[in-house]
Structure 1
C-alpha cells in the first residue's frame, strides 16, 4: 500500500467533516499497526515538497440501503483523501439534482482503511466459530474450494450447495450473479425465495393485488393527505439517491398533511412535519379494522364502487366456496366467527391509540381529495406480518384512493430501473427452493421440509441437508439471522454443514465461521457499471465506478476468484467466455448505448461517474391507473381480476397447511394476536416489554459498523420510555442488560418520550461480541430475536419479541 500521510489523517480527525464529536481512538501508530504498515508510512512530506496532485475518481456506495449514491473520490499518492458529492446539472430540478451521499457513504474511505479489513486468503485452524485462521495462498484457497465442490457434488448431489441470502454489495459484474454463474455451471444449487426484509409483504401482496404495485412518492405532489405505517425514509432512504429526496420535493409542492403510525417518533416524523400516532407493535390490522368500522357506520364508503373493483367486502361478492358471513364487512361488524365488533374502542384497547383519534383519521382519509397510503417494511416483519400487510392494503381499496394522481396501493414503492445488465447467472437445474429465513433448518433438520410445513417449493421433500454454504458480502450467516445462539450451535457442527466459504471485506461476526475466508475488493477498489437500486424511486440513473486506489494487500475481485475456481474445475472458458471483468463492463455499456445512442463513447463514459439520469413519467408512476379506468379491460392478475379482500386461495392454504395452535392464515385481513406480543399474557408476565429493531443513520444493516466516527455520531442505545425506565430505576446513559430466554445483551439507555410505553427499540446491525459470561456486549439485537417464522411467508419475524431490562 502507498504512503498515508500522518498529517492528512490527523487533519481529518480534527476536521471530522461529517461529525461534530471527538474521535477517541485513532492514534496514527495504532492505524499503522492495524494496517500492517511501518510507522514511517505516516510521515508527512516537508512543506513545499513535490508530490502528486489531487485527482478526482469516481465510485459508488453499493450497500443495501435501497438507494444508490455516486461518490466523488479525491485521491492523492494512491490514497483516498476525502469523498464529496458528484456535480449536478441543476439541483433545483428533480432528475438533474445532486445525488448526494449520506454520512455513511461519505465514510467509505474509513471502510477501506479499517483495521478489520480481511487482507489475505485464509483457512480455519481452530474450531469453527473461534475466528482462528492461518494465511494461505490464492492457489491453495481456490483449489481447496474446487476440490470440496467436487467432493460434495459426488457425495450428496447439487442440492447440498447453498448460496446464502446476502445484501452487502450490489455489484453487476462481480458478487452474487458471478457466484451463481459458477454454481450453475457446476450443476446448480438449492434455491431460496423471499428476503429477510420483505418476506411477508412480497408473499401476501399477490393474494390482494395479483402482484406488487405501488405509486412513486413523486405522486405526493398531488396529495392532500399522506398516511404512512412505519415508514422512516429519513433514516433508511436518506441520501440523494434515495426516496427521501423525492418525498421532500413532492411535499414542498403539495404541502399535504402527513400522519405517521409507528411505535417510535422517528426522524421522518420530524422532517415531514408529521403527526405521530404511537402504535403497539403487531397491531396495525386492528387499527385498520377500527377505522373501517367508522367508515361503515358513518356511511363514508361507496360500496357500489368497492364492489366494482374488489371482491369479498360484503356477502354479495364472496366466492361460492366462502362460508356465510365470511366477508370483511361482516368481520368488522361482528357477524363473523369471533362475534366481536371492531369498534374504535376495541381497536384502542389493542393498539394503544385513542378511539377518538382512530375515528378522526378514518374521516380524514374518507374526505381527502387524494390520500397517499403506504407501509414501510417494519410492520410486516412480525409474526402476524402478512395480516398487517393486507389490512393496510384495504384502506386505499375501500376509500377509492388508488389508481389516481396522488394516491397509492398501500405498498412501499420500488424504483424504475435504468436497466444496466448483469453477468448472466445461467440456468440453475435445481428447482427446489426454501424460504431464505429457514436455511439453518435446512442444515439441522432437512427432513422437516415439505410444501405444507416449511414452505418447500418444487419438491415434496429435500434430498439432503445443506452441506456447502457460500456467503459473499453478507452478515446473515450469523449476525443478521434470528436467535444467534441457536445459529452458532448449528454452524459450529462441521459434521452437518461440511464447508463454509465466506467472502467479505471485513472480519464480521459471520466471517469467523468460515472454513475458507477470502478478501474481496471494497467498492472503492473495484470496477463496475451499476444502475440505481431498488428504492431510488422515479429517479433512475447509471454510474461507472473505477478503482480509486489500487487494491491493497491480496484482495481480489470475486470475478477473478470465481474464474480461478472454474479453472480448477476445468471450465474457465465456459465461465469467462474469454472476457475479463473490465471487458464484461464494456460489453454491458455497449448494449445500453445501442438502446440510447445519445450516450458518450465508453472511453469517455467510464470516467464520468454518473453517466446518465432519467425520470419516470407520471403514467409510469401511478399504480393501478389502467385498472381504475376500466377493471374489465385491465384486470389484475388475481383469480377474480379484482382486488381480493377475500382470497379463496388463502382459504385453501389455511385448510391444507400444517400450522401451530397459535398460528393463523385467514382469507380476509383479520387482526391475529401474535405470540410474544403485549397480548401474550403468559410470556408477558416474565418479559413485559415489547422489543423492536430499527435502522439508524450510522449503519446500513451491519455494514459500516466498525467505523468509530459513525459509532460516535450515532451511538447504539436502547430507546425506552421514561415511565418504563422509572419503574426499573434506570437513568439516561445507564448500561443495562436486556434479556429473554434466548440471550442477554448489554447496551446503554436512551430515555425518551419518542417511543411508546411498553415498547423498547434496539438499533439493529451491531456486531455480536460475547464476553466470558456469555453476554453479548456488542449489543446485537439478534442475540434476543426469534427464529420462528411467520405462518404464510415463513418469513423473518425479528420485530416480535418480549424482553426485560435491568441495570448492568
Structure 2
C-alpha cells in the first residue's frame, strides 16, 4: 500500500537470496570466526545485539550486515571468553535468527478480517485505516462497557526486553481509561506464590558461581540443556569436571540427564511429594537431619517448634511418622505411589543428607501441575532439614529467582481500574465473568461488572495455541457476541493471529531498540540495537499504539514525550546513574554488553543464617516456616500447612485412569521458545514433533516407532508420530510443547499440539497453571 518500489525490490531480493544462496546453519557456525578486519575488508559491519525472546538465556550475538541486510549471525568471540558464565554463546535458536527475520511467510501489511473469526481470511488495509478502526473500537467498548471490558493477553514472544509488547498494550489501555490486568506467571506462578509462605520472599536462588565446590546436585525436573536456563550449563560442566555428582529426577530421561547425570531417577508426574516425604523420613529416622539448624531457624519441624494455637500432631515429624493418619511415610509407602524403588529412595536420601554441601535445584516443569505449589515447597523442606539453606554451595529450593542488580524500567502509567485476574481466568472472564470471584483469584474488586469485550494480543500465541483447552477457548473466541474486537500484532499468521479482527505486522528485535534483560543468573544486560529497516510495512507496537493514543487524546500519557529509542537511551542513563559501572550508550553500541560488579558469590539467606537476630526471615515467625499457620488457617486439603503428598486430580490415583490410563507431560525443546520459531526451517530439521511412549505401554497398543498415533481425552485429540523409548517412565507419555494448532474440524489437531488435551482448571493456592496434569489414552491411527 505505502511500500516504495525500491523497498519491494530490496525485500524480494533478500528473500530470494535466503532461498538460493545462503549458508546452512552448520556453515554459519563454521564461518563465525571472521575477524573484524576481515569483515571490514569484505564490506561488512559487525553489530552486537541480543534477542528479546522469552528464553532462559540472554546471549550477545553479532549481526554481520552488508548493504542493509544481515548476511549471517556469529556468537561470542575471544574477548568474552574470560567470563563465559556472564555471556553465553548463542544456542541453536539464537544461531537461526536470520531465518526468523527473513522468513518469506512474515506478515507484511495491516489486514482486517473478512471471513468468520478463526477462518484466517483477511484483506490488506492501510495503516491509517487500521489505526482509525482500533481507536474507534477502543473508545466504543470503553464507553459502552467500562475499563474492565478491555484486556491485554500474555505475550510470550517478547518478554525478554525491558520494553515488552504485552506491557505496551497494558500501558496503552491504562493511558486511555484503564483495563482488566492479569497477574501470575504461566511459567512459574505456582512456585512464585508458594515460596514466600516458607521464606517470606519469592527469590530464593543463589548465584551459580556459589556452587563451585558443591559435591552433589539433584536436578529435579530441570532441563537446562534445552531451556538454556541462565548460565547453568557452563557452571554445571565445570562442576562435573571437578567431580560433582549429578542426579536427575524426572519422568523423562531429558537431554540434561544425558549430558550431566550420573543417575536418572524416573518417577510418575504429580507424585514428587511422595518421594520427597520418603526422603525426609529416611533422613529423620536415621538421625541425618541438622537438628541444630532446625532448632534455631525453623518453625514446624517437630512438636516443640510449632506456633501457638495449633493442635498436636501437625508438625512435619508427626506427619512423617504417622502420628495423625497412622501411615508412616516410608520408602515402601512412596514406592507404591511414585514408582521409585524403596532402596533407591534410601540411598539418595542418605547421599543428599550426608554430602556437604548439596544443592537440590528444581525446575519449573514440576510446578505446572495441579500439585505445583506443594511440589515447590517440598524442595524447601528437604533443603531446610539438611541445613542447606543460607550456606555456600547449598540451595534453598523453591522459586529459582535471584535478587540482583538490573536495569531500571519504564515509569508506570497508573491503571485506573483496581481489579486483576489470574492469567488463566481470561476465558471465564469472557464467557462467564460471574465465576471469576475473589475465591477464584479475583483481586481488588468484589466482582466483574462486565465481561471482556476487547482483546489485545501482542507478540503472543496464547489465545489459540499456548492456552490450555484450546477447543473451549476457540469456541469462545469464534462467538462474536462475546469478544467484540480482537487486535493481534505478530510476525506470522500464527494460530492465534487467525482470530484477529485487525491483524498487524510486528517487527523483530533486529528492527527496533530495546534492552536485552537477563533473568535468573544474568548479571548483565545487552543493548538490543536496531540494525535493519522494518520488513515491508511491519512496525513496532510502540509506534502504532502511540498513534492510536493520539487519536484518543492520550499520546503524551502513553509516550511520556519520548520515542521508543529515546526511552531505551533513558533506561541506559538511569541505570548508569544507579550503577556507575554501567557502560555508556556509545560504549554499548560497540561492545553490546554491560556487566554488573559483585564482590563474590551471592548466597540466598546468608544474612539470616549468619546473623538471625538482626536479619530475621520476613515471615510471621521470623523463621523458615515448614509449617505455615497462614496456610493452616485456610482449611483447604489441597493447600496443606506443611509440604506433603496429596493425590492430584488427573494424577495416577484418580479414578479417571480407568478411562484414560496415561499421564501426559510436555517439555520445552531446543528448537522452540514456547511456540516461537515453530516455523523456522532450520529448527524444524533439528527436532521432530513426536510423542515418547515406553515399550511397556506401546506393546499392548501395537505401537512401534514411526507410527502415526492419536492422543485423546474428553477435551480433544491430537495426532503425531510415535517414538517407542525407555527414556520415559511406564504410565507416562511425553511430547514437545509449542507446535502450532492445526484443527481437523472435529475437535482434533493434526499437528501434535498438546493444548487440545490440557485443562483450564487452576491450582488451589495461586490459581495457576496446571497444563502438565492431563490423563489421556493413545492409539494407533
1:781 matches 2:754: yes
Which of 564, 568, 575 lines up with 1:592 in the alignment?
575
1:527 matches 2:518: no
Which of 462, 484, 490 lines up with 2:476 in the alignment?
490
- Name structure 1 gaps, 5 residues minimum: 21-50, 656-662
1:469 aligned residue: 455
> Greater shift after overlay, 98-107 or 377-386?
98-107
1:183 matches 2:173: yes
C-alpha spacing 1:94/1:81, structure 2 compared with 1 (3 Å): closer
- State the 1:180 CA deviation: 2.4
Q: 2:639 & 2:43 partners in 1: Cα distance?
A: 64
C-alpha spacing 1:707/1:5, structure 2 compared with 1 (3 Å): closer
Aligned ranges 1:59-74 → 2 under 5 Å: 59-74=49-64
C-alpha spacing 1:92/1:590, structure 2 compared with 1 (3 Å): closer
Aligned ranges 1:410-429 → 2 under 5 Å: 410-415=397-402, 418-429=405-416
2:593 aligned residue: 611
CA-to-aligned-CA distance 1:478-513 (integer Å, 9 cap, x gap): 211111101111111121121111111111111111
1:28 aligned residue: none
Q: Does structure 1 conserve the Cα–Cα contact (< 8 Å) formed by 2:214 and 2:244?
A: yes
2:3 aligned residue: none
C-alpha spacing 1:68/1:601, structure 2 compared with 1 (3 Å): closer
1:679 matches 2:653: yes
Which of 307, 315, 336 lines up with 2:295 in the alignment?
307
SS at match of 1:574: helix
1:329 matches 2:317: yes
1:507 aligned residue: 493
1:198 aligned residue: 188
SS at match of 1:550: coil
SS at match of 2:577: helix
Q: 1:615 & 1:440 partners in 2: Cα distance?
A: 44
Aligned ranges 1:536-551 → 2 under 5 Å: 537=521, 539-551=522-534
C-alpha spacing 1:578/1:386, structure 2 compared with 1 (3 Å): closer
SS at match of 1:761: strand
C-alpha spacing 1:506/1:346, structure 2 compared with 1 (3 Å): same
- State the 1:459 CA deviation: 1.8
1:136 matches 2:125: yes
1:120 matches 2:109: yes
Q: Does structure 1 conserve the Cα–Cα contact (< 8 Å) formed by 2:581 and 2:596?
A: no
CA-to-aligned-CA distance 1:560-606 (integer Å, 9 cap, x gap): 1111011110122333233222222222222233345566653x335
CA-to-aligned-CA distance 1:629-651 (integer Å, 9 cap, x gap): 13232111111111111111112
> Greater shift after overlay, 225-234 or 179-188?
179-188
Q: Does structure 2 conserve the Cα–Cα contact (< 8 Å) formed by 1:420 and 1:531?
A: no
- Name structure 2 gaps, 5 residues minimum: 1-6, 31-40
1:54 matches 2:44: yes
1:566 aligned residue: 549
- State the 1:76 CA deviation: 2.4
- State the 1:227 CA deviation: 1.2
2:207 aligned residue: 216
Q: 2:17 & 2:467 partners in 1: Cα distance?
A: 41
C-alpha spacing 1:594/1:790, structure 2 compared with 1 (3 Å): closer
2:4 aligned residue: none
CA-to-aligned-CA distance 1:307-365 (integer Å, 9 cap, x gap): 321111111222223222111111111112x3211110000111110000101111111
Q: Does structure 2 conserve the Cα–Cα contact (< 8 Å) formed by 1:740 and 1:804?
A: yes
1:43 aligned residue: none
1:554 aligned residue: 537
- State the 1:753 CA deviation: 1.2
SS at match of 1:69: coil
Q: 2:580 & 2:775 partners in 1: Cα distance?
A: 57
1:385 matches 2:372: yes
1:802 aligned residue: 775
1:91 aligned residue: 81
Q: Does structure 2 conserve the Cα–Cα contact (< 8 Å) formed by 1:70 and 1:609?
A: no
C-alpha spacing 1:440/1:512, structure 2 compared with 1 (3 Å): same
Aligned ranges 1:226-305 → 2 under 5 Å: 226-237=217-228, 242-252=231-241, 254-305=242-293
C-alpha spacing 1:512/1:565, structure 2 compared with 1 (3 Å): same
Normalising by structure 2, we get a TM-score of: 0.93
1:652 aligned residue: 633
Normalising by structure 1, we get a TM-score of: 0.90
2:338 aligned residue: 351
1:669 matches 2:643: yes
SS at match of 2:779: strand
- State the 1:419 CA deviation: 2.5
SS at match of 1:653: coil
CA-to-aligned-CA distance 1:658-681 (integer Å, 9 cap, x gap): xxxxx622111120101111111x
SS at match of 2:590: coil
1:316 matches 2:322: no
1:479 matches 2:479: no
C-alpha spacing 1:90/1:71, structure 2 compared with 1 (3 Å): closer
**Over the residues paired in the alignment, what is the CA RMSD in angstroms?**
2.1
Q: 2:165 & 2:24 partners in 1: Cα distance?
A: 36
SS at match of 1:374: strand
SS at match of 1:474: coil
CA-to-aligned-CA distance 1:394-450 (integer Å, 9 cap, x gap): 001011111111001113533565522333232122221111111111111111122
1:4 matches 2:14: yes
2:737 aligned residue: 764
2:37 aligned residue: none
CA-to-aligned-CA distance 1:225-245 (integer Å, 9 cap, x gap): 11121011111116xx64322
Aligned residue pairs, count: 759
Which of 702, 707, 713 lines up with 1:734 in the alignment?
707
Q: 2:118 & 2:17 partners in 1: Cα distance?
A: 39
SS at match of 1:65: coil
Q: Does structure 1 conserve the Cα–Cα contact (< 8 Å) formed by 2:693 and 2:722?
A: yes
